[in-house]
Amino acid sequence: MTRIAIVEGDGIGHEVIPVAQNVLELLHPEYEYFPVDVGYHRWEQTGCPCADRDIAELKTADAILFGAITTPPMKDYQSVVLRLRKALDLYANLRPVKGDGFDIMIVRENTEGLYSGIEEIGADRATTLRVVTRMGTERIVRSAIRLAHQRNGRLTIGHKANVLKSDVLFRDICLAEAKAVGISCNDKFIDALALDILQHPASYDVVVTTNIFGDILSDVASYLVGGLGLVPSANIGDRYALFEPVHGSAPDIAGRNIANPIAALRSAGLLLAYCGDARGSERIEAAVQEVLAVGIKTRDLGGSAGTREFGEAVLRMLRQTNRST
């Protein structure tokens, strides 16, 4: 039996993840769904945001649907997201940005870089170690190359090798790997890339870059499709996989039924594709597009529908297609 761990997390995660779970349960009632409670709220209650037993439970899942997590700017608080990425070795963060005339896949190295977690904090100085390794770079660019082969065969490397010596290593390894397999490849400084991807999105297919650059670039690219509320992501390793909206926990709008659940729904679609149901993934996207087409939109898209109401409309569309097939 396919087992899906459901992690709502914090803030609007409690609102958007149930919408996505409802869709998954409609399409696959035979799956086993089980909750795992981690996040800032757990830390407030127990002093531990994510325990070893939580990670052990997540490792029993075939896939994880993950909500937003609040990470407070406190030196004694360990990021749940960073811990899970390392504990499950989710080294490839895939962030698709698809719209009218463009289809971009941002492939972000997910376990090292400036999010290495190696830090020293003092009264007058704080230091974070930016780590780029040959192993980490080889496996992320190979993931990107595999995707490029499946898509349009074009790879772009985003870096800042003109300033950062660690990015010289990253760029050179990526270029060598692409050349070895004959994939079409170019490279750009990350700041120029962030501008050009907004101006000429159709020029890009697969983009591979380091951890923090990928984080920022995917947020920038979300402007092309209407904002962070619409962009999903997949965190993939050799053994485990976690799917989450790109957006954060948005505590300022939490509990008001106004968050856009599309990113969570699309993340559920990526989860289904990973589990072998590409058709189910396509059905979720089609239902989202049909709901938008009839004018049902959340406030961030200029509409008046609430989180739950949008989710219910998607469920109705899916039920209609069930009856017509």
Query: In CATH, what class is 91-236?
Result: alpha beta
CA gap 108, 163 in Å, rounded: 20
- Residue ranges per structural domain of the chain: 1-90+238-325, 91-236
| 3-class state of residue 82 by DSSP | helix
Looking at 215, 240, 274, 297, which residue is catalytic?
Answer: 215
Tell me what pLDDT residue 44 has: 87
Q: What is the mean pLDDT of residues 106-112?
A: 96
**What angle do helix axes 307-324 and 278-293 make, rounded to 10 degrees?**
120
CB atoms within 10 A of CB 166: 20
Tell me what pLDDT residue 324 has: 58
Query: In CATH, what class is 1-90+238-325?
Result: alpha beta
Q: Is the pLDDT of residue 14 over 80?
A: yes
Fold match, 1-90+238-325 / 91-236: yes
Query: Which residue from 216, 240, 239 is spatially nearest to 113, judged by alpha carbons?
Result: 216
H and E: helices and strands count for the chain: 11, 12
Task: Find out whether 9 and 67 touch, Cβ atoms under 8 Å.
Answer: yes
What global pTM score does this model have?
0.93
Tell me what pLDDT residue 218 has: 96
pLDDT, tens digit, for every residue of 140-173?
999 999 999 999 889 999 999 999 999 999 999 9
Looking at 103, 172, 196, 219, which residue is catalytic?
Answer: 219
> Length of the chain in residues, anyone?
325
Confidence of residue 119 (pLDDT cuts 50, 70, 90): confident
Looking at 54, 160, 167, 205, which residue is catalytic?
Answer: 160
Q: Is the pLDDT of residue 325 over 60?
A: no
Task: Find out whether 84 and 69 touch, Cβ atoms under 8 Å.
Answer: no
Instruction: Give the residue carrying structure tokens 């490279």.
Output: 187
Tell me what pLDDT residue 323 has: 65
Active site annotation includes 215? yes
Query: Which residue from 301, 274, 313 is spatially nearest to 4, judged by alpha carbons?
Result: 274
Confidence of residue 116 (pLDDT cuts 50, 70, 90): confident
Active site annotation includes 160? yes
Looking at 91, 115, 204, 240, which residue is catalytic?
Answer: 115
Task: Find out whether 193 and 156 touch, Cβ atoms under 8 Å.
Answer: yes
Q: Which residue has the higher pLDDT, 78 or 262?
A: 262
pLDDT, tens digit, for every residue of 67-96?
989 888 776 777 888 899 999 999 999 999
Active site annotation includes 204? no
Active site annotation includes 62? no
pLDDT, tens digit, for every residue of 166-212?
999 999 999 999 999 999 999 999 999 999 999 999 999 999 999 99
Tell me what pLDDT residue 322 has: 73
Residue 290 CA: distances (Å) to CA of 96, 221, 282, 297, 320? 20, 23, 12, 11, 11
pLDDT, tens digit, for every residue of 277-289?
999 999 999 999 9
pLDDT, tens digit, for every residue of 25-73?
999 999 999 999 999 888 888 888 999 999 999 999 999 999 989 888 7
pLDDT, tens digit, for every residue of 201-249?
999 999 999 999 999 999 999 999 999 999 999 999 999 999 999 998 9
**What angle do helix axes 190-199 and 211-221 make, rounded to 10 degrees?**
20
Active site annotation includes 37? no
Tell me what pLDDT residue 114 has: 92
Looking at 89, 172, 191, 300, which residue is catalytic?
Answer: 191
